[in-house]
Structure 1
Amino acid sequence: MDFAFDARTEDLRTRLLAFMAEWVHPAETVAQEQRARLESPWETPPVVAELTTEARRRGLWNLFLPDPRYGAGLTNLQYAPLAEITGHSPRLGPTAVNCAAPDTGNMEVLAQFGDARQRERWLAPLLAGEIRSAFAMTEPEVASSDATNIETRIERDGDDYVITGRKWYISGAMNPDCAVFIVMGKTDPEGSDIRRQQSMVLVPRDTPGVEIRRAMRVYGYEDHAHGGHAEIIFDRVRVPVSHLIGEEGGGFAIAQARLGPGRIHHCMRLIGMAERAIELMCRRAVSRTAFGGPIADQGVVRNWIADARVTVEQLRLLVLKTAWLMDTVGNRGAHTEIQAIKIATPRAVVDILDKAVQLHGAGGVSQDFPLAELWAAARTLRLADGPDEVHQRSLARRELGRYAP
């Protein structure tokens, strides 16, 4: 068993670490200051354009796409440690190298399931970083953790589909650069196979009947880093039948294909966030004095730091194993491990961030440190892409199945 990264991964890691240190981390404060002066809080700070230009110059662009026609042609195992590095600065890191959700998942869908015209119209500008996109699945009226509950209707009318429904927490939709939504709804609500009732269609943002009703907050934050989370009304929105992705009834299968790699990306970025928290904890502990000595001398603080290091090393190995399985036996063969990382990683990283907040005192909950925002992002990922309990249910069912009479 070889734990070393291959030569290409190591080269990209070295270059990406240098880019983060020289460009991304210094830009964090600049972006915050620029955003405060923008007319709309959802506009992209100008410094981001400088980062993306430099990333492309350094050959650090579209690293997540395994198809060399569209991206770097990396395997899941090769990309995973790069996702971790961008997670050190979740506000800017993924966006700077055009590897930010939800665009990553949407580009994967278009690359894998889109036809030539869809790829030319939407995938090409997404790959170039010219537009952004959103994935519209979650609904406020149903338990969207079960995708078969989706109520949005996609009805055929001649050469068009007519879409009617209400979505919320649609990430990226507040960004004015968001030009297209991938909308999941039901084309056959009475179908006998509940996993063949759903389809996905492309809906341009400026289509009549699309109403961006409001921005949804996350633990009180308006998530500017991801272009906000919107509530959207689709009021008899009409698009051509050619906007269907794949085939009618294929929406559920496409969603599952989209979520597999996405969970690797999320979990590795979370590990990067945990590494950032450990660094901040250590710097704080050696620089602050309480009760006559450095905080670092307190036994409880040392325990927090030690436990955090052990946890991160365990999580990283599990996620990298899952990435390797996805490359060698596919999503289905990695089913148990995909469930496991989605359960374990956000939960553990939330705990590490909570300890880091505690160590920083009032500073930990302030805007002067990234910890409160990182905690909110990590806690949200215990819900996004399926809540913990859904993954626990699925994983336990498979485990029990091995012992069923």
Structure 2
Amino acid sequence: MDQGPMFDELTPRSRDLCRRVNDFLSEHYYPREAELFAQVGQGTTRWKPLPLLEELKGRAKAAGLWNLFLAESEYGAGLLNLEYAPLAEIMGRSHFASEVFNCSAPDSGNMEVLVRYGTPEQKTRWLEPLLAGEIRSGFAMTEAAVASSDATNICTDIRRDGDQYVINGTKWWTSGANDTRCKILIVMGKTDAANPNRHLQQSMILVPIDTPGVTVKRWVPVFGYDDAPHGHAEIRFRDVRVPADSILLGEGRGFEIAQGRLGPGRIHHCMRAIGAAERALELMCRRLLSRVAFGKPLAVQSVWHERIAECRAMIDQARLLTYKAAHMMDTVGNKAARKEIALIKVVAPNVACTVIDWAIQAHGGAGVSDDVPLAWMYACARTLRIADGPDEVHRAQVAKLELRKYMAPA
């Protein structure tokens, strides 16, 4: 597996964890990968935990390969973003690999929120069982009725009523909510719709999924995949009441929390996308070397030379750009790194889409089947161009920051 030229410059603990995670996956995960996917059930059983995945999680926890994503925290490995980045890439090579190490979204982002902004009581009730892998969680932000690419549009209503908050609205793409282990949702909505500062109208609040008035209306497929047992749900909140101490950080702090959550999350997403692209390139090369068409291996045809070289260049460029963003987050902070974070959020998923698409083409009919993981990988990579902000929003931010350099002072 090619980790790129910066790999040797990473810290000893990051290199050691990369080796251990790689070895764990090679010994315990990849030999049983097909069996793992085959355990996904049918009907309502699709949302139940996979026995093999739970077995692998126990092995990973026993090996000390657990909660590796938590940067600078007493709860996890205490890695910097740059140290965790190559680990996220390794986990991104297969759909279930991140969960094996309790490093999968949205739990990782939700745990970061609770670590940073949760009260001691919220941490005891929700963070600790999440860290232990005993429960799972969902993040309810996106709404179908508004353009959620502009998060100030989000209109789920959160109103104070004495010592409670009352929540009304509908969310969708709440990842993880179908899972029978999902016990808690972080919900973003408006507590002060009249505030003249649109970025102070929103708040985030903790809502147990079994609270009266919370209804999981349906699961939402992605290119026909339901991502069981994880899933993506449309959820209705109708007169949902939770205690006032369920609010996170305070009213009007939702955007502040979102920025703290999404920065590291985008690093994780992008590195997982690069891991998927790296595996797709590997599968492509092996296929081209083994497949004969018109009397000669596909690997000797010049069109595939062009594509292989282009893939190698794109993947390495994306990796280095993501490392740069991670390094800046560690050294100068998320705000100063916002241009680099926006850049990688555009670059990494687009690179993954291109590489995986060419790998599918190299496999012919097999590429769009379930005999190889490429179709599922493509669905995930293409979705990432929308999730956590669409390409257009991130490009606009980069353009504004670039133009700002050349604007005359007011």
TM range (shorter): over 0.9
CA–CA separation in structure 1 for the residues paired with 2:139 and 2:40: 24
Alignment length (residue pairs): 403
Partner of 2:117: 113
Whether the 8 Å contact between 1:139 and 1:168 is mirrored in structure 2 is yes
Match status 1:63 vs 2:99: no
TM superposition shift of 1:358:
0.5
CA–CA separation in structure 1 for the residues paired with 2:77 and 2:288: 40
CA–CA separation in structure 1 for the residues paired with 2:226 and 2:123: 31
Partner secondary structure for residue 332 of structure 2 = helix
What pairs with 1:394-405 in structure 2 (closer than 5 Å)?
394-405=397-408
Q: Select which of 312, 317, 321 maps to 1:314.
A: 317
CA–CA separation in structure 1 for the residues paired with 2:345 and 2:295: 42
TM superposition shift of 1:161:
0.2
Question: Deviations along 1:250-287, whole A, 9 cap, x unmatched?
Answer: 00110111000000000000110011101100110111
CA–CA separation in structure 2 for the residues paired with 1:32 and 1:52: 15
CA–CA separation in structure 1 for the residues paired with 2:321 and 2:341: 9
Partner of 1:154: 158
Partner of 1:358: 361
CA–CA separation in structure 2 for the residues paired with 1:9 and 1:165: 43
CA–CA separation in structure 1 for the residues paired with 2:309 and 2:405: 36
Q: Could you say if the C-alpha distance between residues 238 and 39 of structure 1 is closer, same or farther in structure 2, counting changes exceeding 3 Å?
A: closer
Match status 1:93 vs 2:97: yes
Match status 1:348 vs 2:351: yes
Partner of 2:268: 265
Q: Select which of 292, 296, 306 maps to 1:303.
A: 306
CA–CA separation in structure 1 for the residues paired with 2:288 and 2:282: 10
Q: Select which of 228, 231, 235 maps to 2:231.
A: 228
Q: Select which of 50, 53, 59 maps to 1:54.
A: 59
What pairs with 1:197-236 in structure 2 (closer than 5 Å)?
197-224=201-228, 227-236=230-239
5+ residue gaps, structure 1, are none
CA–CA separation in structure 1 for the residues paired with 2:102 and 2:264: 16
CA–CA separation in structure 2 for the residues paired with 1:311 and 1:33: 33
What pairs with 1:3-402 in structure 2 (closer than 5 Å)?
4-36=9-41, 40-89=45-94, 91-224=95-228, 227-402=230-405
CA–CA separation in structure 2 for the residues paired with 1:39 and 1:241: 34
Q: Could you say if the C-alpha distance between residues 168 and 37 of structure 1 is closer, same or farther in structure 2, counting changes exceeding 3 Å?
A: closer
CA–CA separation in structure 2 for the residues paired with 1:207 and 1:371: 39
CA–CA separation in structure 1 for the residues paired with 2:37 and 2:407: 55
Question: Deviations along 1:18-58, whole A, 9 cap, x unmatched?
Answer: 01111121232111222146851111210011111111111
CA–CA separation in structure 2 for the residues paired with 1:346 and 1:370: 17
Counterpart amino acid of residue 296 in structure 2: G
5+ residue gaps, structure 2, are none
CA–CA separation in structure 2 for the residues paired with 1:38 and 1:211: 18
Partner secondary structure for residue 161 of structure 1 = strand
TM superposition shift of 1:92:
1.4
TM-score by length of 1: 0.98
Whether the 8 Å contact between 2:343 and 2:398 is mirrored in structure 1 is yes
Counterpart amino acid of residue 214 in structure 1: R
Whether the 8 Å contact between 1:24 and 1:92 is mirrored in structure 2 is no
Whether the 8 Å contact between 2:72 and 2:80 is mirrored in structure 1 is no
Whether the 8 Å contact between 1:198 and 1:249 is mirrored in structure 2 is yes
CA–CA separation in structure 2 for the residues paired with 1:88 and 1:110: 28
Moved more, 165-174 or 296-305: 296-305
CA–CA separation in structure 1 for the residues paired with 2:141 and 2:15: 37
Counterpart amino acid of residue 328 in structure 1: T
CA–CA separation in structure 2 for the residues paired with 1:380 and 1:110: 26
Q: What's the Cα RMSD here? A: 1.2
Moved more, 119-128 or 29-38: 29-38
CA–CA separation in structure 2 for the residues paired with 1:235 and 1:39: 24
TM superposition shift of 1:402:
1.2
Counterpart amino acid of residue 8 in structure 1: R
Which structure 1 residue ranges, 4+ long, deviate > 6 Å from structure 2? none
Question: Deviations along 1:165-206, whole A, 9 cap, x unmatched?
Answer: 000011111101000000000000011110000001000010
TM superposition shift of 1:223:
1.5
Counterpart amino acid of residue 59 in structure 1: G
CA–CA separation in structure 1 for the residues paired with 2:31 and 2:131: 25
Counterpart amino acid of residue 59 in structure 2: E
Partner secondary structure for residue 233 of structure 2 = strand
CA–CA separation in structure 1 for the residues paired with 2:399 and 2:38: 47
Partner secondary structure for residue 27 of structure 2 = helix
